Chains A and B, each alone.
Chain A
Amino acid sequence: GAVVSQHPSRVICKSGTSVKIECRSLDFQATTMFWYRQFPKQSLMLMATSNEGSKATYEQGVEKDKFLINHASLTLSTLTVTSAHPEDSSFYICSARGPGHSLSYEQYFGPGTRLTVT
């Protein structure tokens, strides 16, 4: 099956610093990756969609300068939270889809990254 990993699983950073979260497709080429944010006991909200080699498309209300997304290869997308603040603390989940996944619903989720900003 299609496997998506995220690294790190947990990260704690100080306010004002930047932190990078990686999302990797392990056994398929991910032409499209999605980044979600999940607040405690709430649903997943799509932040942005990234296609390999292109700029990410951000959802309304998501600051593109704060949440930098890079999808430079077919197996890796990164989300960098710049100048993090405590309100950025959340659970970040990526999902991925590849060229072999012709149906729109074939997206595979990573295990998520818990970010805590102190």
Chain B
Amino acid sequence: AQTVTQSQPEMSVQEAETVTLSCTYDTSESNYYLFWYKQPPSRQMILVIRQEAYKQQNATENRFSVNFQKAAKSFSLKISDSQLGDTAMYFCASLAGNTGNQFYFGTGTSLTVIP
């Protein structure tokens, strides 16, 4: 089984500033993936970034980057140069690599970017 924990229900950040969202996970799988999904008010789930657990290098996608600490089972998301459009719910999720069908989602962090 896998569990994902997000301990920050709500966060806010000033436009153009940097914010970090926390996520910890637990899994017995040796091969797994970690994700950050964004859910704006439209409710459409949008993939922000993906990290393969076997890769040591932290994933980056433009203004979004992760800090993947495998030993600590930590997977935080850093958003640089925050924009108003970044306002959304952010879900951390895990998925088993070999047999996984099911995403395990955290409870989400509601991020508000303040103009």
Contact = CB atoms under 8 A, between A and B. Distances in A.
Interface string B83-94: 000000001000
Contacts of B13: none
Given A34-B101, A43-B91, A46-B103, A104 B44 contact: no
Contact of A112 (B44, B100, B103): B44
Given A111-B43, A112-B43, A112-B44, A104 B105 contact: no
Contacts of B33: 104-105
Nearest to B98: A104
Nearest to B9: A41
Contact of B106 (A32, A43, A46, A49): A43
A43 B102 contact: no
A3 to B, nearest CB: 11
* Range, interface on chain B: 20 to 34
A104 B100 contact: yes
- B interface secondary structure, majority: loop
Interface string A34-49: 1000000111111001
Contacts of A32: 101
Contacts of A111: 42-44
Contact of B44 (A42, A43, A49, A109): A109
Nearest to B89: A41
Contact of A46 (B91, B97, B102): B102
A93 interface: yes
